[in-house]
Structure 1
């Protein structure tokens, strides 16, 4: 009986390749390929992708593995790690940062969902992009308010929709690469000549390059979601790093092949001449051109657009609800957040919290009404997300530095780097890279975009600092 139990437990353990595939679908998406190509001068981005994977992504993923292994019983993710290593007050700020980063992200989901809907219905974006910006933003705001209401109803079916849309988008991303690489053999007409010589792959290290690095950091982030699975592996100390290296190779191959496929379609000179148009519509044009190569019209683009509609809007609701539940449902919330924000309705949704999200994200949507053109709005939101979202990764590295540099000893079945000093240095390196990319990403030659990139994190940080003070007065 004991042997059978052991065999059953072993069978339930996760193989390294299973973890790699699961993490791959979580971390990677087609939008990363498109943004990399647009922001980094076409195939020149390959050099930056390789450096980012080797010097940042691999150590980041392996640190996450160690944190997940040490705090295997913790369900709060990054906030739980910070709480265990640095205390509850700092854990509150970690939780607040994670939530605050979603404010800009939420506003971009409404904008992206409406654009996807226009592509899906009209199969052309010309009229949408030339429409009055104020009208578009008001429609986006109305849609956003409706989804805030949906979030307050606690609809669990949206999680299923988001999962289906995410899986379909992942399949579409791989399909694009496979079909595009095969396209020249089937239909060589209309392909652009590719020059992959070493000289053409070296990027131009100017201000645009360094202020765009946050785009790549944002693209490879988020692997802390797989941390709960470290201890479910057959041999964590060997299998987890093997899985993470496999993940890095898969992502790198997809990034390189996806970039090569984009290079066969889009001339970099045209991309630079119509930058905001490509940021907003590049993914749709890619599938539209792919359909043309295979003589199936807009079929692939329409499938991609409808998948994106479901994905953007279901993610919008989940992004309103899930981060808010993580923040306000934590033990730290009871001590540092005013009781009015902790009010829940019969569906378990934090109604006043949703009001707070509505005001903050709604303000970003409405303030962009004065921006000239829908493509500019979308480009601003892409840059704002790339600047703000990676800020949450700072807490992963802070927790790792505190874990390895602190006096308190924690047991782990998996250790990334055995040498304590070297572990702290690597954690500090990733922290510094993330912070530098976020700070540099704030810069923009456009005054409105620059102001948005500066004021958004300042206002959200300020609010996070004020709430514990309000709570203190409330208790007094």
Structure 2
């Protein structure tokens, strides 16, 4: 769908807002786009502090960020906050000087991710050949029952769907840069189609290859006191791959441990470069789509001024907002940490609901014969409608169970916060656009 949008609106600067506004309704488009943008503000706050974890892994082989102290008086959280603030200022400064600088850095990040996947596939394949068997036994049951006991109930399985959706997160950001792409009507659909296939096949093969060196029941006993979390699991996995590769090659235990640590270090630097590349794109593209695509009267005049092809003033205003939130969270103590956890809960659903907006507007896009469509994936009306409703159902279902899951475990507050996010962000967007309509559109009429 994004490929069709991108090819049809290749000259539009507003990305997903332009797609939905031209296909369905401007106010509908603004609410969906603003909700999507607000979630990326919180993403920047979160990753701005978290990006130092892979860097620590790259340098030390483990996460030592909680032991970092600046000036002898700032604790780990405060030190990461200061680093995150400096990082946001640096990224905004570099990005404000034009897209050419952004492209160079994002290409390095993409290459780093490609290489870490190649390392995973090669390492897993060599271990499988040398050992002659999978570490995680294959069976018919293994394809249907998760080794993680937290995902054995139907509600938890459905709530996990949102992770699968996040695997494709960012395609809409890339689609929003179509006006900067050479030969966009051919390049963008081809790139998005290849990306979707690589993501699908890559995730499946990646999970399979992890099973060549990881037995979910016994492996982590090798790591003793290491607590495996969603934040460090990728580093623990790659560390384990190096360790198991060393054992399969009949190296000493000490040599195998060292090999695992070095692969974990490489994982750290790859993830740091990857997140840096992603950061450069996301610090600019969502804001670009919001400012350039929507009516100029909604925003302060200074925000709409362009320099080096960038909404520089808006980018610095965005940086100030992110820095203020980081400072509050880093220096506000436990109450501020609780506040940030609320923000995370509020954005979990807000980041994926806009995909439902984009999919629903696609019905209007296909029905509008005045829109020239140089690339079409859906040629039949029934295939369009089936796929649109599949997207609406799967994303809606995933978000419903994401909200429901904490309530079923007794955490009603988190369930309310998760549901409040899209309501709050959508309500703010509705008010902003209504204010614009009352002040400008009615006067013009």
Q: Which position in structure 2 is the counterpart of 1:108? A: 46
Q: Which position in structure 2 is the counterpart of 1:26? A: none
Q: Which position in structure 2 is the counterpart of 1:78? A: 16
Is contact 2:61–2:262 with CA below 8 Å preserved after alignment? no
Q: In the aligned structure 2, how far is the partner of 1:131 from the partner of 1:137?
A: 9
Question: Is 1:148 the counterpart of 2:102 in the alignment?
Answer: no
Q: In the aligned structure 2, how far is the partner of 1:463 from the partner of 1:99?
A: 12
Shift of the 75–334 alpha-carbon distance from structure 1 to 2, 3 Å rule, reads closer
In the TM superposition, 1:74-473 aligns within 5 A as: 74-125=12-63, 127-128=64-65, 135-153=75-93, 154-156=96-98, 157-186=101-130, 188=131, 193-203=135-145, 204-224=152-172, 225=174, 228=178, 231-232=185-186, 244=193, 250-269=198-217, 277-292=228-243, 293-294=245-246, 295=256, 296-330=259-293, 332-339=294-301, 341-342=303-304, 348-351=310-313, 354-356=316-318, 358-359=320-321, 362-363=324-325, 366-367=328-329, 387-406=349-368, 408-442=369-403, 443-444=405-406, 445=409, 450=415, 453-469=418-434, 471=436
Q: Deviations over 1:197-238 (max 9, x none)?
A: 1122213442211112100011134444369567327xx9xx
Residue 176 of structure 1 and its aligned partner are, at CA, apart by: 0.7
Residue 397 of structure 1 and its aligned partner are, at CA, apart by: 0.8
Shift of the 421–310 alpha-carbon distance from structure 1 to 2, 3 Å rule, reads closer
Shift of the 117–351 alpha-carbon distance from structure 1 to 2, 3 Å rule, reads same
Is contact 1:336–1:468 with CA below 8 Å preserved after alignment? yes
Q: In the aligned structure 2, how far is the partner of 1:207 from the partner of 1:436?
A: 10
Residue 165 of structure 1 and its aligned partner are, at CA, apart by: 1.5
Q: In the aligned structure 1, how far is the partner of 2:322 from the partner of 2:79?
A: 17
341-350 or 397-406, which deviates more:
341-350
Residue 164 of structure 1 and its aligned partner are, at CA, apart by: 0.5
Q: In the aligned structure 1, how far is the partner of 2:6 from the partner of 2:424?
A: 32
Question: Alignment length, in residue pairs?
Answer: 400
In the TM superposition, 1:50-61 aligns within 5 A as: none
* TM-score, with length taken from structure 2: 0.73
Q: In the aligned structure 1, how far is the partner of 2:219 from the partner of 2:418?
A: 23
Q: In the aligned structure 1, how far is the partner of 2:107 from the partner of 2:9?
A: 26
Q: CA RMSD in A?
A: 4.2
Residue 281 of structure 1 and its aligned partner are, at CA, apart by: 0.9
Q: Where in structure 1 are there 5+ consecutive unaligned residues?
A: 1-62
Task: Please identify which structure carries the higher helix content.
Answer: 1
> The residue matched to 2:212 in structure 1 has which SS?
helix
Q: In the aligned structure 1, how far is the partner of 2:103 from the partner of 2:288?
A: 14
Q: Which position in structure 1 is the counterpart of 2:249? A: none
Q: Deviations over 1:254-305 (max 9, x none)?
A: 2222112222344434799999833111111122222222443422221221
Q: In the aligned structure 2, how far is the partner of 1:351 from the partner of 1:272?
A: 49
Q: Where in structure 2 are there 5+ consecutive unaligned residues?
A: 146-151, 247-255
Is contact 2:107–2:277 with CA below 8 Å preserved after alignment? no
Q: In the aligned structure 2, how far is the partner of 1:144 from the partner of 1:317?
A: 14
Is contact 2:363–2:388 with CA below 8 Å preserved after alignment? yes
163-172 or 384-393, which deviates more:
384-393
Shift of the 318–452 alpha-carbon distance from structure 1 to 2, 3 Å rule, reads farther
Q: In the aligned structure 1, how far is the partner of 2:122 from the partner of 2:345?
A: 29
Is contact 1:147–1:316 with CA below 8 Å preserved after alignment? no
Q: In the aligned structure 1, how far is the partner of 2:202 from the partner of 2:339?
A: 28
Q: In the aligned structure 2, how far is the partner of 1:114 from the partner of 1:289?
A: 21
Q: In the aligned structure 2, how far is the partner of 1:110 from the partner of 1:323?
A: 17
Q: In the aligned structure 2, how far is the partner of 1:271 from the partner of 1:377?
A: 36
